[in-house]
Amino acid sequence: MKVKRVELIKGDITNLNVDAIVNAANNSLLGGGGVDGAIHKAAGPELFIECENLKGCTTGQAKITKGYKLKAKHIIHTVGPVWYGGYRDEPDLLASCYQSSLKLAKENKIKTIAFPGISTGIYGFPKDLAAVIAINETKRFINKYSYPQKVIFVAYDDDSFETYRNLLDK
Ligand code: AR6
C-alpha cells in the first residue's frame, strides 16, 4: 500500500506528537507573538536559552533545537519574509524557508514534520499564494528524498484549511 506522505490537519501545532514542528520565527530567534509565542510558552524557558546560543537566523533560512516540554522532539525555526507587496523576493524567500526546513529534517532523519503557514499571520503573506509555495516545495522535496517521511500542514483556521484542502485535492 502506498503511504500518504502529505497530510492536512486543523488545530494547534504545539499539541502535535511528531518528530519536529516548524516555528514561524523572526531574525532574533528569541520569541515573539503568534505561533512563535505559543511554541516558546509550551516548550518552556530552556528553549529560549538554546535559541540565545544560535545567534539569530537569516530570512529564508532555518535552525533546529530540541523540543523541551513539547511532545515534538525537535523544533525547526525558520524566518519567513515580511510581505511588502511581492516585489522584494518574498515568494523566493518563503520557498527557501520550506527548502531549508525540509533539508534540516532530512539531515536529522526526522520522520514526521508539521508546518504552520509560515509568514501568513503577523508577516502578512497572502495565504493562498503561501499555500501554493508550501505545497510545491514540499512535493518537490519529498519526491527526491525519503526523509522526512511525512509532512503535515497545520491550518489554524477554517479558511486556511479550505485553501490547503482545495490545493491538495488538485
Ligand atoms: N498552531 C498552528 N498555527 C498557528 C498557531 C498555532 N498555535 N498560532 C498561529 N498560527 P504568525 P508569521 C498560524 O503570525 O506571519 C511572531 O511574532 C497563524 O494563523 O505566527 O510568520 C514571530 O516572532 C498563521 O497562519 O507568523 C515573528 O516576529 C501562521 O500560524 C512573526 O510573528 C503564522 O502566523 C512571524 O510572523
**Ligand 1 interacting residues, C-beta cut-off 6 A:** 12-14, 24-26, 32-36, 38, 80, 116-123, 154, 156-157, 160
pLDDT single digits (tens) 54-100: 999 999 999 999 999 999 999 999 999 999 999 999 999 999 999 99
The CA-CA-CA angle for residues 90, 96, 102, to 5°, reads 145
From ligand 1's centre to the CA of 157, what distance in Å?
Answer: 12
Burial group, residue 14, by CB count within 10 angstroms (0-12, 13-18, 19+)? buried
CA distance linking residue 75 with residue 73, whole number of Å:
7
Q: Which fold has domain 6-168?
A: Leucine Aminopeptidase, subunit E; domain 1 (3.40.220)
The pLDDT confidence band at residue 2, using thresholds 50, 70 and 90, is low
Domain boundaries, the chain: 6-168
- pLDDT value for 1: 61
